[in-house]
Amino acid sequence: MAPTTAWRNWAGTESAVATDVVRPRDLEELAGAVTRAARAGKTVRARGSGHSFTAVGAAHDVALDLGAWTGVTAADLDTETDTGLVTVRAGTTLRTLNAELDRLGLAMTNLGDIDAQTISGAISTGTHGTGARFGGIATQVAGLELVLADGSVVTCSATERPELFAAGRVGLGALGVISAVTLRTEPSFVLAAEERPEPLDEVLEALDENCADNDHFEFYWFPYGPKALTKRDNRLPAGTPPAPLSGPRRFVEYELMENRVFGAVCRLGRRVPKLVRPLNKLSSTVLSERSYRDISHRVFVTNRNVRFVESEYAVPRAALGEVLAELRRRVPELADPVMFPVEIRVAAADDIWLSTAYQRDSAYVAVHQFIGMPYRAYFDLFESIVAGVGGRPHWGKLHTLDAAALRERYPRFDDFVDLRTTVDPSGVFANPYLDRVLGKLR
């Protein structure tokens, strides 16, 4: 089936209609599509999987559908060199990549909890997981292959075109079309997962200890409830066999309770808003405790079928308590109730120019609302709170900031814009979202 010119993202928050859609099957076709568009004075965007809540992937002229440009093309399995380098085509989803790495006995060091994104889209928007000693997915990139605005194909790494590498790992698709990604992987490993409800006050009091003592720590908090659902994932020694939840329990816990039942509760809250607060409190009290161990990506990733809208900001780790205290105080004052929990994760500082964790250890605060329920006042309140601590918005999640505001929050913002002007002076890769967050090319 030929790809359609109409596009809509996963959450239904953004849509666009392209004038043409190209589905390249090789690098020559990919580069050719960019060259033809540039000569015709048109723009080009790679669509990815559409899991961003923003219009970062929206194409209004030529859309690139990379669904036929997938798969692992190289893997260093030599035990003597032990580099763990794996090269994968840009259109490969994280779900497919995890499965292919599994077959090779390899794994990503860290992942987020969604695996629907393409590898190129995930790194380009700064997708991350959690872990005080770990960076986002882009920090696992060892090299990139890009098609530039003139149709040329270039590679970059820490030693080859290092500035393009520092900018391009979280590049928003503004510097070129990523055609292949070389990742630094490691031997497959098993994670022990412990999930349990705990009083929020106790979780916050022990936050530094929890982040330091666990490889991957995160928690969810329902805004009107007293408890948080904590999740601790820790690496086990090589050779430890998996011991996953049984099929029936996994179905009950994740598919039935966290998707079907929670979805029904959300729909009820949307129909009868006055029930949201008691339903929210109930949701926080029926959370169950579970412990298991499994192959890493099966622990990191969670299947989520209940649709929502989301805004997420990275704040300095030390400012997390202040941000949550303000949310706890002010969310109950909102006219429209909040159905979804707040998610808290952490990440180590990195050196990627537009990474939300650039040069600072970060805590990520993500606020959500069930699809179809009012969210603007809630998200505006959230943005006003994180603005006071220099919060940086996730590039793929809803925010209202423009280039002037973002320039104040990213020390290398102007360096990125200057590099963009050099490699794409005519704005071949521009779209309205980039015009807002990076400024229009002159």
> What CATH number did the domain enclosing 161 receive?
3.30.465.10
Tokens of 403: 């280039």
Helix, strand, or coil (residue 301): coil
Q: Say yes or no: 368 and 327 in one domain.
A: yes
Domain limits for position 183 = 72-187
Q: Say yes or no: 335 and 211 in one domain.
A: yes
- Secondary structure string (H, E, C) spanning 94-117: HHHHHHHHHHCCEECCCCCCCCCC
Tokens 């090789």 belong to 26
CA-CA distance, 22 to 16, in Å (whole number)? 15
Count of domains in the chain?
2
Q: Say yes or no: 124 and 215 in one domain.
A: no
- Per-residue pLDDT 10s for the chain (442 aa) are 567 899 999 999 999 999 999 999 999 999 999 999 999 999 999 998 999 999 999 999 999 999 999 999 999 877 666 789 999 999 999 999 999 999 999 999 999 999 999 999 999 999 999 999 999 999 999 999 999 999 999 999 999 999 999 999 999 999 999 999 999 999 999 999 999 999 999 999 999 999 999 999 999 998 888 889 999 999 999 999 999 988 888 887 778 778 888 889 889 999 999 999 988 877 777 677 899 999 999 999 988 889 999 999 999 999 999 999 999 999 999 999 999 999 999 999 999 999 999 999 999 999 999 999 999 999 999 999 999 999 999 999 999 999 999 999 999 999 999 999 999 999 999 999 999 999 998 6
342 within a domain of the structure (yes/no)? yes
Q: Say yes or no: 181 and 194 in one domain.
A: no
Measured CA angle at 202 (ends 198, 207), to 5 deg: 105
303 within a domain of the structure (yes/no)? yes
Q: Say yes or no: 172 and 220 in one domain.
A: no
Q: Say yes or no: 262 and 327 in one domain.
A: yes
Beta bridge partners of 44: 62
409 within a domain of the structure (yes/no)? no
Q: Say yes or no: 278 and 369 in one domain.
A: yes
* pLDDT tens per residue, range 53-75: 999 999 999 999 999 999 999 99
Say if residue 25 is exposed, middle or buried (CB neighbours under 10 Å; 0-12, 13-18, 19+). exposed
428 within a domain of the structure (yes/no)? no
Picking from 130, 156, 187, the residue at the C-terminal end of a domain is 187
pTM score: 0.95
CA of 417: how far to CAs of 160, 238, 422, 442, in Å?
20, 44, 9, 11
Q: Say yes or no: 138 and 244 in one domain.
A: no
Q: Say yes or no: 255 and 285 in one domain.
A: yes
Picking from 171, 187, 203, the residue at the C-terminal end of a domain is 187
CA-CA distance, 34 to 43, in Å (whole number)? 9
Picking from 393, 414, 435, the residue at the C-terminal end of a domain is 393
